[in-house]
Amino acid sequence: MTCKQVLLYQSGELSAQKTAAFKKHLATCKNCQARLAWANTVEQAAATVSAAPAHLVERVLLKTTRRPSVWKRFRAVLAGSVAMVALAVGVGMYMHQSPASHAELVAYMSQTSQDEYATFSSDLDLFEQIF
């Protein structure tokens, strides 16, 4: 018997005939018993792996199965743009309006932005349903 056979026996790669012969030998050979036990112990230790970091797995998911679709990314950009336009309109109106209080302006801008976003959002939903 050789060390080679201990390793092949341990990994289940001996033929049926050689496995039977090795088992018979193993029953009486202290040397092979010790080597087999040692090979098992080291293999188990090597198999005790630390988990891959969660952020790494998340990174893979975000680049594959959970990647935001082009439409979703486009929609987010579009929504941001609409909010900016609404803000600009609000500021423009403020500049041309004679004396209005700060509170009135904020209330006006807030309402305008919400209305415009609500309209835009429902348009997008309709668009998504259609396409």
Partner 1 sequence: MSVRSDDELVVLFSKGDDAAFEELLFRHKNGLYQYIVSMVKDEGAAGDLFQEVFLALYTHAADFKAQGKVKSWLFLTARNKAFNYLRDHKADTSLDEQDEEGNEFWHEVLPDGEATQLEQLARQENVEQIKQLVASLPPRQQEVLYLRPYFSFKEIAEMVNKPLGTVLADCHRGLEKIRKILMDQPEVEL
CB of 13 to partner 1, least distance (A): 5
Q: Which residue lies nearer to partner 1 by CB, 72 or 84? A: 72
* Angle, vertex CA 113, rays to CA 112 and CA 117, nearest 5: 120
Nearest distance, CB of residue 45 and partner 1, angstroms: 4
User: Cβ of residue 123: shortest distance to partner 1, in angstroms?
Assistant: 29
51: left (phi over 0), alpha (psi -120 to 50) or beta: beta
Q: d(Cα 45, Cα 62) in Å, to the nearest integer?
A: 32
Phi, psi (5° rounding) for residue 99? Answer: -25, 115
Listed residue (31, 24, 30) closest to 3, CA to CA = 31
**Looking at 17, 65, 101, 129, which residue binds partner 1 (CB under 8 A)?**
65
Q: Does 12 bind partner 1 (CB under 8 A)?
A: yes
Of 64-72, 76-84, 89-97, 120-128: span binding partner 1 (CB under 8 A): 64-72
Residue 36 phi/psi, 5° resolution? Answer: -65, -45
CB atoms inside a 10 Å sphere around CB 131 = 6
**Is position 59 an interface residue for partner 1 (rule: CB under 8 A)?**
yes
Among positive and negative, which fits the CA dihedral 76, 82, 87, 88? positive
- Which of positions 30-49 make contact with partner 1 (CB under 8 A)? 30-31, 33-35, 37-49
Q: Is 81 in the site for partner 1 (CB under 8 A)?
A: no
Applying CB under 8 A, the residues found at the interface with partner 1 are 1-4, 7-8, 11-13, 30-31, 33-35, 37-53, 56-57, 59-61, 63-66
